[in-house]
């Protein structure tokens, strides 16, 4: 019941878009959880392990999932010929803004998580500021995508 | 927003929670695969708590809001073929999930008890537990079933 009945040729694009978005949300939840758990611990090896987990999850799961979601979105956009519609609906605008802004923030969080994990591994319990920043950004992106899920399903406007 | 819109949002949000839990468990299985030090394994298993909440909320949510949608929405019925297929897949997913959880919970509990006892040396028994092939196969089976559920929901065969 994910959406109304539509031509099968559109369904492949929608499947890619939804699957990518779901895996992306999963990656953000996993990375965010790892970071929040590391905040609650004072042990340096905990912080390093969770920072590494956060970085790898964002890089190897989050980034490919973002591309799947975004490619699926563009594919279904062209299938549904939204470019020919003079006034696009609000939910489509919300989707575009959250997807693209979220993509930039995801990239920033991957870079910060990578440097943060490296620093923690080298200094064994050194500053966690980079990894923490990456975790906060990942949680912000997660919140953005929850808004996008609402906009895509409820389709306001 | 109409009631249909809310139900659809809650149904889809539940599906997102369910898949998020599967992603989290997949990452967890991948990272503990090479670990055999009890504190390392116990530490990593801490993230599974969030997965446990998401899988419970997600799996109940997709079922409840999905059935509610089928009853509420014009054009769909609970006895439509693709809806029945989804219900069957939901139960199969639950069976796979229960078996997977049982196997990995044993590994988590063993790691915790070893860590509590202060035994933090590499442990071959623990490594065998986190590398349990049955657990991996049950988890993979659960992922395949969820993919089939998503295909069923989007393509709605027979609708």
ipTM of the complex: 0.93
Chain A environment of B21 (Cβ under 8 Å): 26
Q: Which of B14, B21, B24 to mutate to test the interface with A (most CBs of A within 10 A)?
A: B24
Q: Residues of chain A whose C-beta is under 8 A from some C-beta in B?
A: 1-3, 5, 8, 11, 14-15, 18-19, 21-23, 25-27, 29-30, 33-34, 37, 46, 49, 53, 56-57, 61, 146, 149-150, 152-156
From CA B98, how far away is CA B102, in angstroms rounded? 6
- Where is average pLDDT lowest: A2-6, A130-134, B83-87, B124-128? A2-6
How many Å apart are CA B87 and CA B148, to the nearest integer? 12
Indicate if the pLDDT at residue B133 is higher than 90. yes
- List of domains in chain A: 8-81+92-154 (1.20.120)
User: Packing angle between helix A44-57 and helix B3-32, nearest 10 degrees?
Assistant: 120
- Of A75, A93, A78, residue with least CA distance to A156: A93
Residues of B in contact with A3 (CB under 8 A): 154
Question: Domain extents for chain B?
Answer: 3-155
pTM for this predicted structure: 0.92
Q: How confident is the model over A14-26, as pLDDT tens digits?
A: 999 999 999 999 9
Question: For residue A1, what pLDDT is reported?
Answer: 45
Contact map slice: B 68-87 vs A, CB within 8 A: 69-70, 73, 75-76
The proportion of chain B whose per-residue pLDDT surpasses 70, expressed as a percent, equals 100
**Which residue in A has a C-alpha nearest to residue B42's C-alpha?**
A46
Distance CA(B18)–CA(B114), nearest Å, equals: 31
pLDDT at A127: 63
Taking only the tens place, the pLDDT of each residue in B30-56 is 999 999 899 999 999 999 999 999 999
Dihedral (CA of B143, B147, B153, B157) sign: negative
Read off the pLDDT of each residue in B107-128 and give the average, rounded to a whole number.
Answer: 91
């Amino acid at each position: 019941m994910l959406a109304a009945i539509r031509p099968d040729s559109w369904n492949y694009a929608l499947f890619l878009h939804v699957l990518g978005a779901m895996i992306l949300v999963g990656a953000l939840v996993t990375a965010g959880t790892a970071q929040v758990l590391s905040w609650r611990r004072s042990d340096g090896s905990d912080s390093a392990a969770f920072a590494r987990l956060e970085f790898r999850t964002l890089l190897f799961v989050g980034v490919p999932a973002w591309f799947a979601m975004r490619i699926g979105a563009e594919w279904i956009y062209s299938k549904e010929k939204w470019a020919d519609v003079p006034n696009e609906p609000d939910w489509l605008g919300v989707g575009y803004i959250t997807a693209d802004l979220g993509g930039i923030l995801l990239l920033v969080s991957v870079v910060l998580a990578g440097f943060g994990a490296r620093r923690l591994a080298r200094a064994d319990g050194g500053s966690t500021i980079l990894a923490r920043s990456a975790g906060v950004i990942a949680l912000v992106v997660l919140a953005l995508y929850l808004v996008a899920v609402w906009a895509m399903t409820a389709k306001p406007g | 927003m109409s009631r249909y819109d809310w139900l659809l949002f809650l149904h889809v949000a539940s599906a997102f929670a369910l898949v998020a839990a599967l992603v989290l468990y997949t990452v967890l299985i991948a990272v503990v695969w090479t670990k055999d030090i009890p504190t390392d394994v116990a530490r990593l298993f801490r993230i599974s708590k969030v997965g446990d909440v998401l899988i419970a909320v997600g799996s109940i949510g997709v079922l409840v809001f999905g059935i509610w949608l089928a009853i509420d929405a014009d054009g769909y019925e609970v006895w439509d073929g693709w809806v029945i297929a989804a219900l069957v897949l939901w139960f199969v997913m639950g069976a796979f999930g229960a078996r997977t959880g049982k196997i990995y919970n044993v590994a988590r509990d063993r790691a915790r008890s070893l860590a509590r006892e202060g035994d933090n040396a590499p442990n071959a028994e623990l490594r065998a537990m986190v590398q349990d092939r049955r657990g991996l196969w049950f988890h993979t089976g659960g992922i395949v079933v969820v993919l089939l559920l998503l295909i069923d929901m989007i393509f709605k065969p027979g609708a």
